[in-house]
Amino acid sequence: MEAFSQLVERAGLAFAQATTPAELEDAKAVFLGKSGELTAQMKLLGSLPVDEKKARGAEINAAKQQVETLLADRRQALAEAELALQLRAESLDVTLPGRRRGSGGLHPITRAMERIEAIFGSMGFDVADGPEIETDWFNFTALNTPADHPARSMHDTFYVEGGHVLRTHTSPMQIRYAVRHVKQHRHLLDAGLPMPEIRVIAPGRTYRVDSDATHSPMFHQFEGLWVGEAISFKDLKSVYLGFVRAFFESDDLRIRFRPSYFPFTEPSAEIDMMFGSGPMQGRWLEVSGSGQVHPQVIRNMGLDPERHIGFAFGSGIDRLAMLRYGVSDLRHFFDGDLRFLSQFK
């Protein structure tokens, strides 16, 4: 009869040949299963004489334990191999070049605004911000444009619920800012003392019912206001010339004032500028409305037009950005096309 040591050896061999857990279970059945070899040996015990039974039983048990140990070892080996395989499949090749996240950039209009703020900031102008949904009073009436005023038809206004409008220009910020400034310094005015001058720009979004290559229903303006006791057109000219020269980084640039009409200024002027060189050289380009603040507007600010005088201007930011960056169609700014926008990173 085969010695138990040989049986154990065969079991070890069979287990080693199993390369998957399922094959290992099959191999186990051959030795330890219900009709396995060791089980059969156990069944035979009953037919042995009592004195042999004990020794034989001990031998079978020892063999069974050895087979079970071999089985457990093989199970573990297979599990480890499986894990190693899985780890290799999921491993990262850290030498691959990384996938980069695209870096963002500021929108060209935002860039233009920041330039404008920095330039006027350097000339002592405050920067103010205000609501885009505006009351009729601030957008029109306080700016000397009452309900029946013909100039109202100059603006194609978006009306919103409650009689409000989407502001058609940044000019309402003149009133909002001045009223706050005057309130803050009321005690000086009441005592007949000079008030610190109002010097502010207010950039932001504006809206009109208009859409083509040079007009968008949403566009950007910045308002400028300088009010004091002795402010004149001469100051307006030097400020505006200083601004365009800084904005376009060129001293080779001229501006001119062309008579115009706005209800909130008297006299009023369009500001044109001309490049002395480059592709736009020699053509007058309209860049801003401007004028001396109308006495009624000065009154609506809470000031006395006999004592306070000033100038204001309102310029299109999109237009300035188009000129600065050489963009021919305004709509590019608002289409959200990354091929266009990424050029400004």
Q: Which residues bind ligand DAH (CB under 6 A)?
A: 169, 171, 223, 262, 265, 268, 289-291, 312-314
C-beta of 257: minimal distance to ligand DAH in Å?
11
Closest CA to 289 of 209, 174, 198, 177: 174
Cα distance between residue 17 and residue 23, in whole Å? 8
Q: How far is the CB of 146 from ligand DAH (least distance, A)?
A: 16
- We find the least distance from the C-beta atom of residue 245 to ligand DAH, in angstroms, to be 20
Q: Which C-beta is closer to ligand DAH: that of 171 or that of 300?
A: 171
Nearer to ligand DAH, 248 or 262 (CB): 262
Whichever of 59 and 235 has its CB closer to ligand DAH, that residue is: 235
CA–CA distance, 97 with 285 (Å, rounded to integer): 50
Least separation in angstroms between CB 319 and ligand DAH: 12
By beta-carbon proximity to ligand DAH, the closer residue of 71 and 270 is 270
Of the two residues 275 and 313, which places its CB atom closer to ligand DAH in the complex?
313
The Cα–Cα gap between 175 and 158 comes to 21
In angstroms, what is the minimal distance from the CB of 276 to ligand DAH? 26
Gyration radius of the chain's alpha carbons: 44
Are 130 and 284 within 8 A, CB to CB?
no
Using the minimum distance from each CB to ligand DAH, give the nearer residue, 23 or 117. 117
Query: How many Cβ atoms are within 10 Å of 268's Cβ, its own excluded?
Result: 19
- State the minimum distance, in angstroms, from the CB of residue 103 to ligand DAH: 36
